Amino acid sequence: MDAFSLLKADHRKVEDLFAQLESARGQSKMRLFQQIQTELELHTHIEETIFYPALEKPKQTHDLTMEAYEEHDVVKKLLEEMSKAKSPTEEWDAKAKVLQENVEHHVEEEENELFPKAEAALGDEEIETLGEQLEAEKMRMQGRRGSKQSASKKSSAKKSASKSKSASTAAKRTPASRKSAAKSSSKSSGSKSRSKKSAKKR
């Protein structure tokens, strides 16, 4: 897959997620946002580490590439602010709309201006090579995310297991502690009765 086809496929995927976000409610909206955030972070990463550096030197793509970096920064800030929310509010919805508009503008500029100029500046061979590099980096990052998620799941499973163990241990201890308490109370009552008897004898 060449670089442009891969990046356009990413664009279509995010557009579809934004369309779903508009009609979503409550926590389903937050889950869709998390998907959008994951896709956008991955997309901006591969563009900034592989695609844009190749377009910085050619004169016809330099200015548009520098502008694209700045547009990415705006998107990243919005994603960071929105990710702090636990549920969607009116303010959050407004930011989601601004995010969508920014992404749509960025995509339009890339596909209609940057990509055609990049195609003219780079050769077919370089475009194919960039596509392979973008795909490889994307797979590497997805693998890393997957391993992180599985590691966090394992750690949470361990925590819940240790909690249940401590709870069961506490439950086991309770009858024993009751027995010891009963013994001590019987001992004390026995000592009290003995002291009463000795007092009567006197």
pLDDT digits (tens, 9 = 90+) for 155-196: 655 555 555 555 555 555 555 555 555 555 555 555 444 544
Q: Worst-scoring range by mean pLDDT, 20-34, 60-74, 118-132, 152-166?
A: 152-166
pLDDT band of 145, cuts 50, 70, 90:
confident
Q: In Å, how far from its chain's centre is CA 128?
A: 31
Residue 193 lies in a domain: no
If you average pLDDT over every residue of the chain, what do you get?
84
Q: Tell me which residue of 92, 125, 124, 70 sits closest to 25, measured CA to CA.
A: 92
- Find all residues with CB under 8 Å of 121, minimum gap 6, and list them: 55, 58, 60, 61
For residues 47 and 55, what is the distance between their CA atoms, to the nearest angstrom?
10
Phi, psi of 102 (to 5 degrees): -65, -45
Task: Identify the pLDDT of residue 67.
Answer: 97
pLDDT beyond 70 at 87: yes
Q: What are phi and psi of 88, to 5 degrees?
A: -75, 130
* 10 has a pLDDT exceeding 80: yes
Tell me, yes or no, if the pTM score tops 0.75: no
Do the domain assignments include residue 17?
A: yes
Q: How many structural domains are present in the chain? A: 1
Residue 202 lies in a domain: no
Task: Please give the residue range of the domain that contains residue 140.
Answer: 3-157
Examine residue 168 and state whether it is found in any structural domain, yes or no: no
Least trusted range by pLDDT, from 12-26, 29-43, 70-84, 170-184: 170-184
Examine residue 198 and state whether it is found in any structural domain, yes or no: no
Q: Is residue 166 in a domain?
A: no
Q: Is residue 113 part of a domain?
A: yes
116 is a domain residue? yes
